[in-house]
Amino acid sequence: MSIALYSILLLCVSGLAVGNLLLKKTATTIVHVPQDVYGLIFNPWFYAAVAVYGGSTLLWIMILRKVSLGLAYPMFALGFIIVPLLDFLLFKEQLRPTTIIGGLIIILGVAVATRGG
């Protein structure tokens, strides 16, 4: 896989991670269910999340035109690293040692799974 495709794939995975964080931000605005759920219609965080997910889905389709699913899909595991790190930085959530250790294992797994691609 070329550096350009790796870059696009990483952008796609990062976009999905950011989309998750935008959904979390959306969720923090919902206080009363179901009344506030109807407020999603006017919630800019919700629309931002949908736009980011939509853009990431378009990137994913571009990637799958050039790369096998078996080679590209393991990169999605990087989202399990990106989301907790951004959650820690943006929402001040706890970053547990087990998450860090698991993240290192995931990086090793992705490196092995995508080797030679």
Q: What is the pTM of this model?
A: 0.83
Q: Per residue in 28-47, is it b (16+ CB within 10 Å) or e — as a string?
A: eebeeeeeeeeeeeebebbe
| Domain layout of the chain by residue ranges | 3-113
Does an H or E element contain 37, and which?
helix 35-38
**Each residue of 42-99: pLDDT tens digit?**
889 999 999 999 999 999 999 999 998 988 899 889 999 999 999 999 999 999 999 9
Q: Quick one: which of 36, 32, 17, 40 has its CA closest to 88? A: 17
Q: How would you class 11 by CB atoms within 10 Å of its CB: exposed for 0-12, middle for 13-18, buried for 19 or more? A: middle
